[in-house]
Amino acid sequence: MILPSYEETLLSEPKKTIKRFFHLHKHASGLDKKQPIVIIGIHGYQPKLLQPFEKLDSKGFCVKMAEAIRQKLNLGPNEGDITSIPLDGYGTVLKRRDAFLEQIQDNKTLSEKIKKAKALFIIGHSQGVPVSVLLLQKLIEVRLVDPDQQTICALLLAGISQGPISRLYPAVKLAEIVDDVQSEELFDFQKSSSPISQEYRDATIKILKHRVKIIYFASGNDDKVPLHSALYTNMDHPSIKRGIYVADSIYDEKRFVVDLVRILIRLRNNNHSDHGLLVLLSESLFGYLKEHGHADLPEEPEAYQYAVDHLYVSKECKNVRAKFTEFDYTLPAKSRKTYIPWAMRGLLTDEKTIITEKLIPDFNNLRQCFKTWSPNRTDSIASELKYDLQPFGDDTEEQYIDDYQNLSKL
């Protein structure tokens, strides 16, 4: 499942937006079924050594996106003007972008389909996330895509927006030996000062300026990309929504941790600070939310259904500048973990966020869950996390929130 759900994200938005969401689901059949829609899919990277033996393809992304569109708009299996464009191929991010752009421009049929589309979805996975953003920015630049005439949504799954997990860095040495430049490049995304990170950042800001709606989804147990990277936590804009994919069984087993992440993402989805907790928790959560990994997220139907909702329901944000914070995740993560208790206390005392977002019931439920949470001694990750988050069990803090809850009723 995807958390928070799209409906939950709308709880803090204006009533008109909420009404528009339920109107879409109630009257979807009233939409123009002949509206031309284009779906572009871009798969992730494959290490050079594996490319001769296992080929990746993007067709599955397009199929699942088309299914979600037909389901939401009440279209039959053969109804609707939906064109799928799966783009396959390997290389560095910019080489892939240029190759895909040339492939589209050289195909007049595809070019015309894109130009005439009223709605455009672009789906990227892993390394395909920056490729998707950079390609979309180029398609707008060469005027194959016109944001003034089209509604556009970028669904970005488990992307390496801020680099892979640091502990994978030794793999760079192997990449150097076999001359695998695309694998080496992944780690350049760990620093916002690197040329490729700057290209990606600038392209993201440009498409947001063109009113593109973006979704970043992370996988609950990603063995390659940390949470903060998949969610591109250092980029802020009202048109960005975020979520995490976890299995139902994991939610039951790891409820406190999953609900904490859900609330933090919900805050970000409504343009409030999470006080840096998503970044600080990324290292702790690696390997904790077990069962589903990096490649499983693109198989989740809810991710594509969320994208349809975001495209058709959310309002366009005009003249809103994206906010970006510089980062360097090549530094040791352990030194940052010491800030977790301070970040948690900062969040709990942020009355504007907690009261404005009506999160007091959520936090109170989470607090009760925390108090009864007794990690197994063999579960070192959970035990350390329980210790780091001790401010959450502070009764003084609980009284502080209760006082504000009572004041808000006056």
Q: How far apart are CA 153 and CA 169, in angstroms?
A: 32
Question: Given pLDDT bands bounded at 50, 70 and 90, which one contains residue 289?
Answer: low
DSSP letters spanning 151-220: EEEEEEES--TT-S-GGGTTHHHHHHHTT-HHHHHHGGGGBTTSHHHHHHHHHHHHHHHTT-EEEEEEET
Q: How far apart are CA 216 and CA 81, in angstroms?
A: 27
Is the predicted pLDDT of residue 6 greater than 70, yes or no? yes
Residue of 211 and 166 predicted with greater confidence: 211
Q: What is the CATH number of domain 2-246+292-324?
A: 3.40.50.1820
> Cβ of 93: how many Cβ atoms within 10 Å?
25
CATH 3.40.50.1820 boundaries in the chain: 2-246+292-324
Question: Given pLDDT bands bounded at 50, 70 and 90, which one contains residue 29?
Answer: very low
Q: How far apart are CA 18 and CA 374, in angstroms?
A: 38
Is the predicted pLDDT of residue 110 greater than 70, yes or no? yes
Element of type H or E holding 221: none
Is the predicted pLDDT of residue 407 greater than 50, yes or no? no
pLDDT in tens, 134-156: 999 999 999 999 999 999 999 99
Question: Given pLDDT bands bounded at 50, 70 and 90, which one contains residue 7?
Answer: confident
Q: How far apart are CA 259 and CA 213, in angstroms?
A: 25
pLDDT at 101: 98
pLDDT at 130: 98
Hey, what are 136's tokens? 């979309």
> Cβ of 326: how many Cβ atoms within 10 Å?
10
Q: Side-chain half-sphere of 155: how many Cα atoms within 13 Å?
A: 29
pLDDT at 143: 96
Lowest-confidence segment of 74-78, 108-112, 268-272, 283-287 by average pLDDT: 283-287
Is the predicted pLDDT of residue 83 greater than 70, yes or no? yes
Q: What's the whole-model pTM score?
A: 0.90
Q: Specify whether the CB–CB gap between 237 and 132 falls below 8 A.
A: no
Question: Given pLDDT bands bounded at 50, 70 and 90, which one contains residue 30?
Answer: very low
